[in-house]
Amino acid sequence: MTKLSVNINKIATLRNARGGDQPNILQVAKDAQAFGAQGITVHPRPDERHITYQDAQELPTVITTEFNIEGNPIPKFIDMVCAIKPDQVTLVPDAPDAITSNAGWDTVANRAFLQEVVQEFKQHGIRTSIFLDPDAVQVEAAVRTGTDRIELYTQAYAEAYPLDPAKAIAPFVDAATKAQEVGLGLNAGHDLSLHNIAFFAQQLPGLLEVSIGHALICESLYYGLENVINQYIAKLSTH
């Protein structure tokens, strides 16, 4: 079964909008796991506009499943991740002022840099994943960085799915097939939702994990966090 990792960045955005400690990040992480989530994801950015570095440092005290930290591997981020030693680090090439992640790595042009970063994380026993567009060439090049997994950037799928699901999923199937051929683990995330997750998971071979935040939190405003998490798990169990 594909694991569900709940990204709690949007919870921190809500907290930060008012100040104080409501909603409480640690309690939400505990509740999400109690409701069935098999992992917790955070993406601290340099300006700490949602998840803060302190949040990331405190979360291991309540995480009983898997902890995944995403981010651009600038020196401050690398130092933080190596100190925390989460189960997984996902490398994302987002600019400091990016509203949200909007592209995958060019693993050909950035091979030497990614090799160095991946090696440092793996020396600390941290599983590594590289955020990629659904491009078989980039997937094959990712192998040479030494990464354990890739995470497919799924915004293009989410946008095209309502018009033509088969066309929307095709490049992702190709990328997933290539990942299996070259021995890379496969994750996915960005704009996946209750509306499009089942078809995506059914079609992709070897999908180990999805990381979902924005849509899941928005859906929870209507249906409740426990109910939504269980709906995702049910949809991920159908393939």
Residues identified as active-site: 43, 70, 190
What amino acid is encoded at 110 in this protein? N
What are 67's strand-pairing partners?
40
Longest Cα–Cα distance of the chain, Å, equals 49
CB 9 within 8 A of CB 190: no
Could you count the other beta carbons within 10 Å of the beta carbon of residue 108?
13
Dihedrals phi, psi of 209, to nearest 5 degrees: -155, 140
Helix then strand then coil, in percent of the chain rounded to 5, is 50, 15, 35
Among the listed residues 5, 3, 96, 82, the one whose alpha carbon sits nearest the alpha carbon of residue 42 = 5
What are 41's strand-pairing partners?
7, 68
